[in-house]
Amino acid sequence: MHARADASADTTASWPQDIFAILQRFEVRQVPYVPDAGHSQLIERVLASSTMRGIPLTTEEEGVALLAGAWAGGQRGVLLMQSSGVGNCINMLSLTQIFRFPFLTLVTMRGEWGEFNPWQAPMGSTVPAVLELSGIKVLRASHPPEVREVVEAAAGQAYNACTPTAVLLSQRLIGAKVFTK
């Protein structure tokens, strides 16, 4: 379900580069992720980076705990995941309130905006509420030009104010996965 090896994602979009530049500027070091096609460009940049470490996870909740440890050790991180992964994180998200650490996650959305696969809809629909109930501030970017300022604001409040924050990258931004023509 997480796999989204897909031809629809625009591999030439510039907003993933904008995100990478912001993460660099905020001196992000650890980048745990469960792959999603919407994050593929960013993941490639991270894996090629000399200052960031891309860390593949078996499940998204690992990333929440990893970032708590990274902060305890003096490093910033960001968790990359797809909307279905938010559900996997719920109990571990309690660490964001307990440790009051600078939690930032970038969530690529499924289950909205022309979604073909109905199995993505239930979790995709509850992502904003689940995050908010878990004490995470939720911002959203739906159009390429706004990605930069939304991610900048999110990184600022997460890293400078220890306000746990999620940015939802809308399916409208990424493009619906095409299963049939």
Q: Contact region for another protein (CB under 8 A) — 4-12, 106-114, 117-125, 159-167?
A: 159-167
E strands in 43-129? 53-56, 76-77, 79-82, 104-108
Binding mask of the shown chain, residues 40 to 79, with x at each position contacting another protein by CB under 8 A: -------------x-xxxxx-xxxxxxxxxxxxxxx-x--
Question: What amino acid occupies position 19?
Answer: I
Residue 157 near another protein by CB under 8 A? no
Of 13, 99, 121, 156, the one binding another protein by CB under 8 A? 99
Q: Looking at the chain, how many residues does it have?
A: 181
Question: What amino acid occupies position 97?
Answer: Q
Residue 98 near another protein by CB under 8 A? yes
In whole angstroms, how close is the CB of 75 to another protein at the nearest point? Answer: 4
DSSP conformation class of 74: T
Residue 130 near another protein by CB under 8 A? no
The token duo for 119 is 């199995």
Q: Which residues contact 124 (CB under 8 A, 6 or more apart)?
A: 83, 84, 109, 110, 111, 112, 115, 171
Give the residues lining the site for another protein (CB under 8 A): 29-30, 53, 55-59, 61-75, 77, 91-92, 94-95, 98-102, 160-162
